[in-house]
Amino acid sequence: SAVISQKPSRDICQRGTSLTIQCQVDSQVTMMFWYRQQPGQSLTLIATANQGSEATYESGFVIDKFPISRPNLTFSTLTVSNMSPEDSSIYLCSVETGPEAFFGQGTRLTVV
């Protein structure tokens, strides 16, 4: 199993600013996944973060908007840059151990 701690749990930000979300895992994992859940919607993968290499982004997501760091096997950050109200969502990190995926509790972001 894996326990994931995400910070902050929620934030209200001004448009045009950036927010960095932290994800800490209690065990070493090769891949970490970042998802976005827009209001009333399902989860959509933003990118996959491997330690020691650049993140792999899904279609519709770019590094300039969502830069990711992965400095070691237990930690990752996702930055939401130059925010607009459309970025208001829940952002979740996830890891997989064996067949099971574990998720953080999410960061609820509101952009005003």
Partner 1 sequence: DAKTTQPPSMDCAEGRAANLPCNHSTISGNEYVYWYRQIHSQGPQYIIHGLKNNETNEMASLIITEDRKSSTLILPHATLRDTAVYYCIVKGFTGTASKLTFGTGTRLQVTL
Total residue count of the chain as it appears in this document: 112
Q: How far is the CB of 18 from partner 1 (least distance, A)?
A: 23
The 3-state secondary structure of 84-102, one letter per residue: CHHHCEEEEEEEEECCEEE
- Using CB under 8 A, list all residues that contact partner 1: 4, 29-31, 33, 42-45, 48, 92, 94-96, 99-106, 108
Nearer to partner 1 by Cβ, of 4 and 21: the residue is 4
Q: How far is the CB of 16 from partner 1 (least distance, A)?
A: 27
Q: How far is the CB of 37 from partner 1 (least distance, A)?
A: 9
At residue 41, the 3 state secondary structure works out as: coil
Q: Which of 26, 32, 27, 16 is nearest to 91 (CA)?
A: 32
